[in-house]
Amino acid sequence: MTLRDRFVYTMSALLLALAVAAPAGAQQAVQQPTPAPYDTQWWFTPGAVSRHFERQSEFNQTHPQFGFEYFWRPNTALIFGTYKNSNYLWSRYVGVNWTPLELGPIRLGATAQITNNYIAARDRKPFPFAAPMASFEYRRFGLNLYAVPTIRDVTGAVALQVKLRFD
């Protein structure tokens, strides 16, 4: 088993454990007093860099982007925008980032998205995908780390996305 496979399996097991633990946490939250209202947050995502698992191909490794994250809860964000993908084509996306596990300033969770314009995925038509992710935020600066698994003909990658908060 390669290091990449171990990473994907570990992240998948973590997400499964979070899914199993979520109902228990939700029941406990009902018994606690109502928290103060959450101030929503907007983040701008200007770009990302990636490292593809298949090193022989000439994939784009820098991804200019015009995207947004809208947090309506502390650990849940609606994401949408456009970016130059690994095939040097412009993709549009919409989805949700969910990061329920906090380890100090780092939050762990998953992303679920619908994106388009990948040559090896459904002939450039929209398709859904999910991947484990980690997020780090400090004041108005943040980073998202995505681990996109290889699925069929689509080569996986690790991507690091920059984000800037605005209100």
**Residue ranges per domain, the chain?**
3-166
- Contacts (Cβ under 8 Å, ≥6 apart) of 151: 129
| Overall average pLDDT of the 62-75 stretch | 96
Given a cut of 60, is residue 3 above it in pLDDT?
A: no
The pLDDT assigned to 34 comes to 64
| Overall average pLDDT of the 88-106 stretch | 96
Mean pLDDT across the chain, nearest whole number? 85
Please tell me the CATH code under which domain 3-166 is placed: 2.40.160.20
Q: Kindly indicate the confidence band of residue 57, based on its pLDDT and cuts at 50, 70 and 90.
A: confident
H, E, C per residue of 85-134? CCCCCEEEEEEEEEEEEEECCEEEEEEEEEECCCCCCHHHCCEEEEEEEE
The pLDDT assigned to 32 comes to 61
| pLDDT single digits (tens) 16-48 | 555 555 555 555 545 566 666 778 999 999 999
* CA neighbor of 120 nearest in space, from 59, 62, 34: 59
Q: Kindly indicate the confidence band of residue 95, based on its pLDDT and cuts at 50, 70 and 90.
A: very high
Q: Which two tokens stand for residue 161?
A: 């996305």
* CA neighbor of 78 nearest in space, from 87, 86, 68, 88: 68
Task: With H, G, I as helix, E, B as strand and everything else as coil, classify residue 39.
Answer: coil
| pLDDT single digits (tens) 109-131 | 999 999 999 887 778 899 998 99
The identity of residue 39, as a single letter, is D
d(CA 150, CA 62): 19
